[in-house]
Structure formats: C-alpha cells, structure tokens
Amino acid sequence: MSNASRSVSLYHRLVVWLLFLILLLPLAATLLYSLATQWSATLLPSGLTLKWYAALWSDSRFLIAFGHSLVVCVGALLLAIFLVLPLMFVIAYHFPRLDALMNVLILLPFAVPPVVSSVGLLQLYAGGPLPLIGTPWILIGCYFTIALPFMYRAISNNLQALNVHDLMDAAHLLGASTFRAALLVVLPNLRKGLMVALFLSFSFLIGEFVFANILVGARYETLQVYLYNMRNGSGHFTSALVISYFLVVLIVTWAASGLSRDKS
C-alpha cells in the first residue's frame, strides 16, 4: 500500500472515529448525570451514586409502564406473525406477482403522519360500537401497522433466498400436505429472518410515543408516556430512565444484529 493510500485510509478512520465520539458524547453525558449525586456549577459531578437507578427500578409506576409497553409490543408482534406469515406464504407460493403490489401497500402507514392518524382514530373509536380509546387494544392495532413494513420486508428477503416451490414439491412427493409442508419445511427456514424482524420491530415499537400519548395517555401509561410525564421531575432520575431505556433497545438491537450475522 502506498503512502498516499495509507494517508487516505488514516484520514477516513479519523473522520469515522470523530463522528462516533460526537454521537456518543450526549449519551455519555446523560450516563454521567444519571450517576451524579450533584452536578451544578462544576466541570465534573461531586460524586457518583446508583440511587437514581435504585429509585427508578423500585418505582411501581415505572414498572407498570414498562409492563404496559411490553404487553402492547408483544401483542402487536404476535398479531403480525399470525397474519403476515400465512399471507406471505400464499403470495410467495401461489401469487408471486403480487409481491410488487404488496411492497407498495406496506409503505402506506408511513405515508400518513402519526398525528393525523391519531386524530382519525380518535373520531372513529372514541364511541360507537367499539370504544377502544384509552385501552391497550387500540395501541396493539396501531403498533401492528407500524411493525408491518419491517416484518414484511425481513421475511420477504428470507423467502426470496429460498426456493419455496422446490421445497414444497419435495415435501409433497414425500406425502406431506401443503399445510404440513409449510409448517415443517418452509417455516424452520424462516426462523432467523423472523427473529430479526421481531427484534428490530420491538426496538422501534417500544420507543413509539405519538400514538400512545394521544390515544391512551395516562389511562394506559406506556414507557414513553411515563418518560414524558416525568419530564418536570429530577433530571438525574430522568437521565437514569433514558439510559435504562437505551440499554433495553441496545440489547434488543444487538440480538437482532447477531442473528443477522449468523444468517449471512
């Protein structure tokens, strides 16, 4: 490698590390503030403590909000699995030409801003035969539409890497029905793609705020709504909450990245 190439490579590495440090600095400051006993007029905090994390994880309201977020996220993802997987198998096996149309349809939830969607849902489900406003069911439905594009694209990419028709034909020759072949032959080959889709969707859904705040608010307080409602409290406590939330998302994203590397 020539000196010029080495200089360019070193320059690129310095730029990448500089950008990484710039992005990491606010998070590091938040972490340090969440561990500080007091930090006001000095360059560094006067001491370090874990009392803010202890107060957070012993707060029953936080634990309930965290549980609510898990319930609606897991519920939406389960709904997506039971509805999207059969649909995608039917499209891949019987109607492959519909894949282009589905790629357009699944992007429709992103075409309408969440605030606009929330106002429409408020008018539709505030009363009448299905008064769902303020209940977790409205959030599960909304989160399902948000997770749909992530689920569809990840599983679709996995399906395209398989030869579904050959797998099904081989299973049929061995005497398996279409349902049994799809369940025992195709589905196991989609396991890693499905897990990646679930983890990535979960890390995105658990941070959703607009639908949760407008449609349920404090009546079914989720993690992001709890964070918003605690904004006027102690900054140390709020920082501990932000770091805890970040660690949850980081663990889920790391798990998804590990599965993606194993898949490749």
Each residue of 3-23: pLDDT tens digit?
666 666 777 788 888 888 888
Using the 3D structure, point to which of 10, 26, 49 is the last residue of a domain.
49
One domain, residues 45 and 77:
no
95 and 172, same structural domain? yes
In a domain, 109, yes or no: yes
What does the alpha-carbon distance between residue 197 and residue 224 come to, in Å, rounded to a whole number? Answer: 22
Look at the chain and report how many structural domains it folds into.
2
Question: Residue 221 burial (CB < 10 Å; 0-12/13-18/19+)?
Answer: buried
Is a pLDDT exceeding 90 seen at residue 41?
no
Do 135 and 31 lie in one domain? The reply is no
Q: What radius of gyration, in Å, describes the C-alpha atoms of the chain?
A: 23
Q: Which two tokens stand for residue 203?
A: 């890390």
As beta bridge partners, residue 48 has: 36
Same domain? For 27 and 105 the reply is no
- 71 and 5 part of one domain: no
Same structural domain for residues 66 and 39? no
Q: Looking at the domain assignment, is residue 40 inside a domain?
A: yes
Within a domain: 23? yes
Each residue of 96-121: pLDDT tens digit? 888 888 888 887 777 888 888 888 88
CATH number at residue 123: 1.10.3720.10
Whether residue 24 is contained in a domain is answered as yes
Q: Which residues contact residue 10 at a Cβ distance below 8 angstroms, ignoring those fewer than 6 apart?
A: none
Residue 54 covered by a domain: no
Question: Is position 70 within any domain?
Answer: yes
Residue 55 lies in a domain: no
Q: Are residues 116 and 8 in the same domain?
A: no
Question: Does residue 85 share a domain with residue 137?
Answer: yes
Residue 135 and residue 203 in one domain: yes
pLDDT at 162: 81
- Residue identified by tokens 């992001």 is 224
- Report which listed range, 35-44, 117-126, 208-217, is most confident: 208-217
Is there a single domain that holds both residue 45 and residue 66? no
- Mean pLDDT, to the nearest integer, of 120-127? 84
pLDDT higher than threshold 80 for residue 67: yes
d(CA 197, CA 149): 10
Q: Looking at the predicted structure, is the pLDDT value of residue 89 above 80? A: yes
Q: Are residues 105 and 178 in the same domain?
A: yes
What the block records as the tokens of 84 is: 């999207």
Domain that holds residue 40: 1-49
For 104, counting Cβ atoms within 10 Å of its Cβ (0-12 exposed, 13-18 middle, 19+ buried), the class is exposed
Residues 208-222 have a mean pLDDT of: 90
List residues bridging with 36 in a β-sheet. 48
Please list, in sequence order, all residues whose beta carbon lies within 8 angstroms of the beta carbon of residue 55, skipping any fewer than 6 positions away.
Answer: 237, 240
User: Which pLDDT score is estimated for 261?
Assistant: 62
Q: Are residues 75 and 23 in the same domain?
A: no
